[in-house]
Amino acid sequence: MNPDFARRLWLTAKPLIFIGCLLPLAWLCWLAWQGQLGANPVETLSHRTGDWSLRFLLLTLAITPARRLTGWNRLQQFRRMLGLFAFFYVSLHLAVYLIFDQFFDWSAIAADVVKRPYLTVGFAAFLLLIPLAITSTRGMMKRLGKNWQRLHRLVYLIAVLGVLHYAWLVKADLSEPLLYGGVLAMLLGYRRWRRWRGVC
């Protein structure tokens, strides 16, 4: 492939992927505008934003294996964008709970987080995501040096907490949480295999 053409292709891909990442939110806004969020709109908003949070988190983790398997090193350019969109949808997910479910009743929220394990792990995952979002810039990468990579390994724990949050939330039908858990297990297993092969 011509290098100039490849460069133009990737430059075009970035804004298209950015727009694509906003489509789930646009669709939710359209459903809300049309009054088609179902009998429990708050629950629909909470579940949809939570689903997309986990999907973007897994897509972020999939970038490195995809790059190594395909040889498309430019895929790495999209990892930060996808990671920030994961944080964006997690923030929306939390906002739905704080605003529409609890109406900013902070004492009830604190009691709820302590009482319900799925909220405890979900809130913990959100708190762990904050430093990753703050340090996602190139400037912070240079400033932190090797510590940046150590810090951003928290994403693996965050993904595990996200799957647990979903599994403990649904209780009965575990098909979707198990699907996400299976994808996460493959992504983490691939990294473990690479590390083991590198040592051996």
Chunked into runs of 10 residues, the chain (200 residues) has average pLDDT values of: 58 87 96 92 95 96 89 84 95 95 91 93 96 91 87 93 93 87 93 72
Q: Token digits for 38? A: 């179902």
**Domain extent listing, the chain:** 41-199
Q: What is the pLDDT of residue 181?
A: 94
Q: At what angle do helices 41-70 and 79-95 cross, to 10 degrees?
A: 170
Q: What is the pLDDT of residue 173?
A: 81
Q: What is the pLDDT of residue 5?
A: 54
Distance of CA 106 to the CA centre of its chain: 25
Q: What is the pLDDT of residue 200?
A: 43
Q: Is 166 exposed, middle or buried (0-12, 13-18, 19+ CB in 10 A)?
A: buried
**pTM summary value:** 0.91
